[in-house]
Structures are given as C-alpha cells and as structure tokens.
Amino acid sequence: MIKPKKVKKAPEEVLNHIWEEQGDRKKGIKDSHLGPDYKNEAEVGEALAEAFQTGLVKREELFITTKLWNSDHGHVVEACKDSLKKLQLEYLDLYLVHFPIATKHTGVGATGSALDEDGILEIDTTISLETTWHAMEDLVSMGLVRSIGISNYDIFLTRDCLAYSKVKPAVNQIETHPYFQRDSLVKFCQKHGICVTAHTPLGGAAANTEWFGSVSCLDDPVLKGLAEKYKKTVAQLILRWGIQRNTVVIPKSSKPERLQENFHVFDFELTKEDMELIKGVDRKLRTNQPAKFWGVDLYA
C-alpha cells in the first residue's frame, strides 16, 4: 500500500505493541507485516530483539513479512539482506514483490520514487518481472526467506509468474474489499494454490478517503444494515466477509481496542444469502491509486 505518511514508531512503542499483541497470543495475533516503504523495519527490529531476549516471544511463534521495493528489483538479494539487518533476523517467513514494476535504483533500501522532470515515475525497462522473480527464488535456496510472493499483480501478471516460476508464489497480496471484490482474480489465485491476502480489507478506511479521495465502504447502507443484524461493527462484518471468501485479511491497526475488535469475527457467520447481498455492493472501485504520486497509472 502506498502511504504518503510513513508508519514509523520509536522502538519502545513497537515493543509495547508487541506486549499488547502477546496478550492475545492464544487468540492467534502473531503476524507482523512490514515493508521498507513503511519505514518501520529498524524500529520493529529493535523491539523484536528485546522481545526475544526477554523471552516475551520466540522467533518461531511469529510470522514476519516484508517487501521488495520497486527500486530494488535489480538488487533483490542485497535488499533482502538489508531488511534482515534492520529487523535483526536470520530469515523472513514471507518476502513479497511490493509492486509489479521496476524503477530507477536509488540505493539499496531507499524507498524514494525517482520522478523525471515532468513528475513521471522513472521506470527501469532493463529489468523484467521474470528476472526479479528468479532472484526472489534465489533467496529461498539461500535460506534467507521461507516463502516468496507477489503483491498488486493482476490475473495476467499472476499467470505469467506461474509460467516462468520454479518456486510458485505463495501469496498474492492485493486490494480487495466489498467495493472492489475482484472475484475473477481471487478465484484464479485460489484455483492455482496462491493464497490471496487483502492488504486493504476495509477499503483503506479514513486514510484512503483522505489521501486519494476514495469512497469508504464502511459508510455503505447495505453493510450498515447487515452489521446491525449481526450486532457487529461494519468493520467486523467486512472482515468476516473476507474470511468467508477464503482470503487472509490484514487490517492495519496500532490501537489495542481495534486489535480486540478485529479479532471478534470468529463468533458469527454470514449466511449464504447475506454473502450474495454483499456481492451486490461491488463498485469495482480501487481506493489505493499510486498514479496520484507517480504520474503513471500502474493498472492501465
């Protein structure tokens, strides 16, 4: 996800967050989703080191994901090692290609998007996605990552990746929510054994409405009505819908009360009729549009 305001916290804040999450360990909150573009790897690394040292949590109890940024497609191994160094880890559970585009290299681990004099993203035409993927596969054989995946790939790019890959992508992390359901892509990935993860399961909520002028599905009257029916929040209803589609939902939150709220989606189930009702609110509306900052419509 593109975030004009970076997610950056002091190590003690991150550690407190881990303490809060570990209070919910038995409830299954064990995933840490990171990325160089989020500017949070070093802070999380310091917190993890302290958590491991104090016995708060063991490395094998956590599933840690980070991403390859666009400008590092020609420096995959170096970029991964840079992330591992910042995170103070020996391996990653999952490493994703953040976007299906190679851009001008600005230094390993640097996440600035180089723009030309017209404010257009400088795309590197010398590096193919196939080349990038084979370098990702090398990370698996080197033992630096346990699994690799893709992010923001459409059906055709996913199909191509399946064709040239030796190590199949474990995950395709995409934007999908009631206003952008993308059933064809979701079903294609699932048919071919690729887990679909929704990186914007709530439509970006307030952040994307502010940054991109998007319309939030949290205000949809149909969804509000269903939330009242099940005595849940609209967010809980949407997360449950995502789970029943057999997708992994990763709503962003740093607030303990929101983490608790997000977890309370396993004590109810949407009926088949209500799942069909939600299918009817699809607007095919992408809320996270990088063209606003890059001057290029990546999805055109």
Q: Please report whether residue 46 resides in a domain.
A: yes
- Residue 205 CA: distances (Å) to CA of 98, 172, 218, 235: 21, 21, 7, 9
21 and 163 assigned to the same domain? yes
User: Was 98 annotated as part of a binding site?
Assistant: yes
Q: Please report whether residue 293 resides in a domain.
A: no
Q: Please report whether residue 2 resides in a domain.
A: no
Query: What local confidence, expressed as pLDDT, does residue 34 receive?
Result: 55
Write out the catalytic residue numbers: 38
**Sheet containing 195-198, strands listed edge to edge, beginning at the edge strand earlier in sequence:** 31-33, 63-68, 94-97, 148-151, 171-174, 195-198, 248-249
C-alpha span between 23 and 56 (Å, rounded): 10
Domain holding 153, by residue range, is: 8-102+114-169
Number of domains present in the structure of the chain: 2
For residue 213, pLDDT over 80 is answered with no
Q: Please report whether residue 206 resides in a domain.
A: yes
For 5-54, the pLDDT digits (tens) are 344 444 555 555 555 555 544 444 455 555 555 567 888 999 999 999 99
Last residue of a domain, which of 169, 185, 208?
169
For residue 102, pLDDT over 70 is answered with yes
What is the percent of the chain where pLDDT is above 70?
83
Task: Quote the pTM value.
Answer: 0.88
Band (pLDDT 50/70/90 cuts) for residue 1 is very low
- Residue 208 CA: distances (Å) to CA of 148, 179, 285, 286: 27, 13, 12, 10
155 and 203 assigned to the same domain? no
182 and 160 assigned to the same domain? no
Query: What local confidence, expressed as pLDDT, does residue 163 receive?
Result: 99
